[in-house]
Structure formats: structure tokens, C-alpha cells
């Protein structure tokens, strides 16, 4: 089975309403409103891409995108609540409060050498604003399963690329020559991994083979764009599968080179176990509808190189906190060259790391102060993962779990026992510091 298809415009396969399972009741109210208003204004109007794919698979789409023959400027004339965005691809965003319906004009298959608003750099498409027909637009899309159109005119599904057949067979197939399509946009390699993990599809062999060879092309992608792709890979409920597939194709090291280097040369099992447990934890929380923050996710992904560097700095004489702060700064600076991490996530990520050594300090008032830290819960969850993976003793995690559950007197007793058992200071000195027999202030 070949991945390369004849990209000449062909007669589409029309699947009438009785022969597919898409219902307007399952399309968002705002997307339906955009479809009908464009139609009423005299333009072609289709639901396209992942929304159609997921509806056909019986899944709930995350986004609903619209394709039309109206230019972005014409879309803006139809919708007062519309904003035009993008340089690489000019798009119209129709706003309904926090809900945004993305409207794209049909793209052309015009050759890049011909005049028009299209630009390439080293084979990578950096701007493409030449408009065409729905037939051309379908064949310009990345995967066949994303080139399916739901027509609001007669409620049919329009298939120009054999996407319905691949959808039913569970096959992920690129449109066109795989090498060329990956070079046009290297992010398509990450999309192939994401769809394969999310949908459980098999990547067509001709589309899969270049994944092992072209990973270095990701270095030309802006770090900010890769940040968005990483979130899609790891925060869709299939983080573990995505992680495993990325490593299988050699793509993980292009995104997190320091982490891959540490995992590839680590003698113990706990580093890879730690990442796997972190991915499993993320997937479980998403399935249960619990919040997941990118700060925790990135803290997990970068922990091993940070931990190793902090150990070397401590061996050189730095204090635990200074060692961790310096290691976090150095690894983060290297990471930002590949995948950017906004400060709203990198700051709490580093706080999670910096609090880890404080869990070992269970004497005096330190446990009480740590318990009131705004980032305590995330840091505690991080500690649990470290214990589960075998990096730290389970007793330490169990102590902090119990400490949170006890009342004031029982907490004081736990701290006194920790004082007696730490072996670092003589008991006489600890007794001199206590001014009264009153329990320690839990504040």
C-alpha cells in the first residue's frame, strides 16, 4: 500500500445523510450558526477536519473548523464578531464569548514558483495565502482522514482523498509524497504521532519510514509553536502512548534533548519509570475530569536532567537549594531553544523542583511552613511520583501523606519523633530550644 496518491483533482465521493452518522445535534451551536450564515450570504460552507473525523468515529470533537470560498475579508464582513489572524495562514476567527470558530478559505494547489502570496524557506512552507477551490483545498490537507467535509447544504460528507476508506480501516495516510509533505511542515511528524496515539490508528508504512529520518527538521520550527504541539501530545489523555511513540521514532530527543540524553544513559530504572508514572498520572486525571497544569507536566519531563545536574552541583559543595536553583536555570535555558515554556508555567515548575529537598526536613517548624506553601500540593504529588518510581524512599512520601491527615497534636507527635530520629543534633540542644510544653504552632 503506497502513501503517495495522485493529487490530480478527482470526482469526489459523496456520502449522503442516510449513510453516515453525523447529526447537526452533535455540532456546536456556534459552528452551526457560522455554517448557516455563510450559506445565507451566498458562500460555500463546510465543516472540515478533525471535527468531521471525530464525529464519524463517534467521538466528541474538541474544535469545530469551517472551510469556505469566502476570503477572510469577506468573512469579516459577514460577522462583526470576527478577527483576522495569522501570517503563515490567514484565518478568520469568529468569537462567541470564549468559544472561537475558525474559518479558513479554501487553499490553492498553485505551485510555489508561481506568483502569489506564498513563501517557502528550505522546502518549508512559511506563508500560504493563495486561495482556490474545495477540490484543491482537500488535496492540500495533511492526512486523508482530515480531508473530509460536511456540507451544510445537503448534510452529506464529501470525500476527495479516500479519507472515509482510511477512517474505516484505521489507517493514517498522508496526501502526497511523505518526504515533501514533512519538509513543507515538520510539525506534521508530530501530528502523525498524535493522531496515531489518540485514535489508535496504524501509520501507513510509506508515511512512517521518514519519521525515523527527518526528525532534525523540527529544529527549524519556532519553539513557541512546538510548545503548543507538546501540549496537544501530552494533554489529550494519551500522554503515555505519545511519549512511547515519540521515543520510538526518535522524535522525543528533538523536543527534549537533555531529557533524552539522561534517559538513554541512565543505569537505574527509576528515571524512565518516573516519566512513565507521570504520563499515566496525567492521563488518569484527564479521564477523571481533574485539572492538569502544563507546569507539572514539564516538571516531570525535565526532572531527570535537572536532578542529575543538581547532584553534581551538590557534590561540588553547593547547598541543596542553590544546587537545585542553578540546575533548574541551566536546563531550562537549554530547553527554551527547542520548546518554549511560558513563565506562567516555568515559574511554578521550578517551585515544584525547589521544594523537593524540603520534604526531607521534618524537624521543628519546617514541616508546618512547607504545608502552607502555595505550591505544596503540586510538589507533594511530585514527591509521590518520585517514591512510586523508586527514586526516594516510600517512607518519606507516606510520612507526608499521614502528616496532612493528622490533627495538631498528632502532627506535633510526628515531628517530635522525626526530631528524635534525625541523628543530626543531640536531644539536649533540641530541648533547650523548646520554651514551653505547649504544642508547636502549626502556622
The position carrying cell 540524553 is: 261
Q: Tell me whether residue 201 is in a domain.
A: no
Q: Tell me whether residue 99 is in a domain.
A: yes
Q: Does one domain contain both 163 and 267?
A: no
**Residue 84 per-residue DSSP state:** E
pLDDT at position 441, please?
A: 42
pLDDT at position 114, please?
A: 46
Q: Confirm if 171 and 53 have CB atoms less than 8 A apart.
A: no
Distance of CA 66 to the CA centre of its chain: 23
What is the total count of domains within the chain? 2
pLDDT at position 418, please?
A: 81
Q: Tell me whether residue 79 is in a domain.
A: yes
Q: Tell me whether residue 186 is in a domain.
A: no
Q: Tell me whether residue 441 is in a domain.
A: no
Q: Does one domain contain both 142 and 19?
A: yes
pLDDT at position 435, please?
A: 43
The Cα 282–Cα 143 span in angstroms is 28
Q: Confirm if 236 and 198 have CB atoms less than 8 A apart.
A: yes
The Cα 275–Cα 263 span in angstroms is 10
What's the chain's length in residues? 443
3-state class (DSSP) for residue 120: strand
Q: Confirm if 40 and 175 have CB atoms less than 8 A apart.
A: no
Question: Which one of 163, 181, 199 terminates a domain?
Answer: 181
Question: Which one of 126, 146, 181 terminates a domain?
Answer: 181
pLDDT at position 309, please?
A: 97
3-state class (DSSP) for residue 170: coil
Element counts in the chain: helices (H) and strands (E): 21, 12
Q: Does one domain contain both 162 and 298?
A: no
Strands (E), 58-155: 65-68, 82-85, 91-96, 99-105, 118-121, 124-128, 148-151
The Cα 110–Cα 328 span in angstroms is 48
Count other Cβ atoms within 10 Å, centred on residue 205: 11
The Cα 201–Cα 167 span in angstroms is 9
The Cα 45–Cα 156 span in angstroms is 12
Q: Tell me whether residue 229 is in a domain.
A: no
The position carrying cell 496526501 is: 175
Q: Does one domain contain both 142 and 271?
A: no
Structure-block grid coordinates of residue 19: 449513510
Question: Which one of 181, 209, 240 terminates a domain?
Answer: 181
The Cα 53–Cα 147 span in angstroms is 9
What is the number of alpha carbons within 13 Å of residue 290 lying toward its C-beta?
7
3-state class (DSSP) for residue 44: coil
Q: Tell me whether residue 207 is in a domain.
A: no
Q: Does one domain contain both 413 and 295?
A: yes
Give the helix/strand (H/E) hosting 13: strand 13-15
pLDDT at position 269, please?
A: 81
For residue 401, the enclosing domain spans 262-433
Query: What's 45's domain CATH number?
Result: 3.30.460.10
Longest dimension (CA), the chain: 90
Structure-block grid coordinates of residue 347: 515559574
What is the number of alpha carbons within 13 Å of residue 76 lying toward its C-beta?
9
Structure-block grid coordinates of residue 288: 477523571
Q: Does one domain contain both 176 and 290?
A: no
Structure-block grid coordinates of residue 27: 455540532
Catalytic annotation, residues: 63, 65, 142
pLDDT by residue for the chain (443 residues), tens only, comes to 344 344 565 689 999 999 999 999 999 999 999 999 999 999 999 999 999 999 999 999 989 999 999 999 999 999 999 999 987 678 999 999 999 999 999 988 754 444 445 555 555 544 456 889 999 999 889 999 999 999 999 999 999 999 999 999 999 999 999 999 999 999 999 999 999 999 999 999 999 999 999 999 999 999 999 999 999 999 999 999 999 999 999 999 999 999 999 998 876 788 999 999 999 999 999 999 999 999 999 999 999 999 999 999 999 999 999 999 999 999 999 999 999 999 999 999 999 999 999 999 998 899 999 999 999 999 999 999 999 999 999 999 999 999 999 888 899 999 988 877 653 443 333 334 444 444 444 33
pLDDT at position 425, please?
A: 43
The alpha carbons of the chain give a radius of gyration, in whole angstroms, of 27
Q: Does one domain contain both 48 and 160?
A: yes
Task: Give the residue from 254, 276, 274, 279 showing the smallest Cα distance to 335.
Answer: 254
Q: Does one domain contain both 414 and 275?
A: yes
Q: Please, which residues have CB within 8 angstroms of residue 134's CB and are 6 or more apart in sequence? A: 44, 46, 67, 69, 106, 149, 158, 160
- For residue 298, the cross-strand partners are none
Q: Tell me whether residue 334 is in a domain.
A: yes
Q: Does one domain contain both 279 and 428?
A: yes
What is the number of alpha carbons within 13 Å of residue 173 lying toward its C-beta?
23
Query: What's 408's domain CATH number?
Result: 1.10.3090.10
Which residue pairs, CB below 8 angstroms and at least 24 apart, start in 161-170?
161/5, 162/5, 162/13, 163/53, 164/13, 164/15, 164/56, 167/53, 167/56, 167/57, 170/199, 170/200, 170/201, 170/202
Give the helix/strand (H/E) hosting 266: none
3-state class (DSSP) for residue 48: strand
Amino acid at each position: 500500500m503506497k502513501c503517495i496518491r495522485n493529487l490530480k483533482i478527482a470526482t469526489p465521493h459523496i456520502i449522503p445523510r442516510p449513510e453516515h452518522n453525523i447529526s447537526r445535534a452533535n455540532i456546536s451551536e456556534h459552528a452551526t450558526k457560522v455554517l448557516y450564515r455563510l450559506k445565507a450570504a451566498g458562500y460555500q460552507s463546510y465543516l472540515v477536519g478533525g471535527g468531521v473525523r471525530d464525529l464519524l468515529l463517534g467521538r466528541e470533537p474538541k474544535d469545530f473548523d469551517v472551510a469556505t470560498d469566502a476570503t477572510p475579508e469577506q468573512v469579516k464582513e459577514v460577522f462583526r464578531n470576527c478577527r483576522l489572524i495569522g501570517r503563515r495562514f490567514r484565518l478568520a476567527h469568529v468569537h462567541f464569548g470564549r468559544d472561537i470558530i475558525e474559518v479558513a478559505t479554501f487553499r490553492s494547489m498553485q505551485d510555489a514558483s508561481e506568483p502569489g502570496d506564498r513563501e517557502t524557506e528550505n522546502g518549508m512552507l512559511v506563508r500560504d495565502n493563495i486561495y482556490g477551490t474545495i477540490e484543491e483545498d482537500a488535496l492540500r490537507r495533511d492526512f486523508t482522514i482530515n480531508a473530509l467535509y460536511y456540507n451544510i447544504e445537503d448534510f452529506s460528507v464529501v470525500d476527495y482523498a479516500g479519507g472515509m476508506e482510511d477512517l474505516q480501516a484505521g489507517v493514517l495516510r498522508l496526501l502526497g509524497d511523505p518526504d515533501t509533505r514533512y519538509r513543507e511542515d515538520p510539525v506534521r511528524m508530530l501530528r502523525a504521532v498524535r493522531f496515531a496515539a489518540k485514535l489508535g490508528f496504524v501509520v501507513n508504512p510509506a508515511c512512517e519510514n521518514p519519521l525515523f529520518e527527518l526528525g532534525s527538521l523540527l529544529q527549524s520550527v519556532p519553539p513557541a509553536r512546538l510548545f503548543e504541539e507538546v501540549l496537544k501530545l501530552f494533554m489529550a489523555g494519551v500522554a503515555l502512548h505519545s511519549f512511547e511513540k515519540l521515543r520510538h521514532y526518535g522524535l522525543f530527543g528533538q523536543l527534549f534533548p537533555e531529557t533524552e540524553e539522561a534517559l538513554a544513559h541512565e543505569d537505574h530504572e527509576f528515571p524512565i519509570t518516573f516519566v512513565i508514572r507521570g504520563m499515566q498520572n496525567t492521563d488518569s486525571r484527564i479521564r477523571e475530569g481533574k485539572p492538569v497544569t502544563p507546569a507539572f507536566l514539564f516538571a516531570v519531563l525535565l526532572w531527570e536532567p535537572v536532578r542529575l545536574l543538581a547532584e553534581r552541583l551538590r557534590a561540588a559543595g553547593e547547598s541543596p537549594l542553590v544546587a537545585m536553583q542553578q540546575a533548574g536555570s541551566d536546563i531550562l535555558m537549554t530547553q527554551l531553544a527547542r520548546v518554549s515554556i511560558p513563565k506562567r508555567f516555568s515559574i511554578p515548575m521550578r517551585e515544584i523542583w525547589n521544594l523537593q529537598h524540603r520534604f526531607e526536613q521534618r524537624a521543628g517548624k519546617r514541616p508546618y511552613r512547607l504545608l502552607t506553601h502555595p505550591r505544596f500540593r503540586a510538589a507533594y504529588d511530585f514527591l509521590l511520583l518520585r517514591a512510586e518510581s523508586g527514586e526516594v524512599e516510600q517512607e518519606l512520601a507516606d510520612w507526608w501523606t499521614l502528616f496532612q491527615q493528622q490533627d495538631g497534636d498528632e502532627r506535633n507527635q510526628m515531628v517530635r519523633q522525626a526530631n528524635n530520629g534525625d541523628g543530626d543534633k543531640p536531644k539536649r540542644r533540641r530541648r533547650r530550644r523548646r520554651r514551653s510544653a505547649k504544642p508547636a504552632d502549626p502556622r
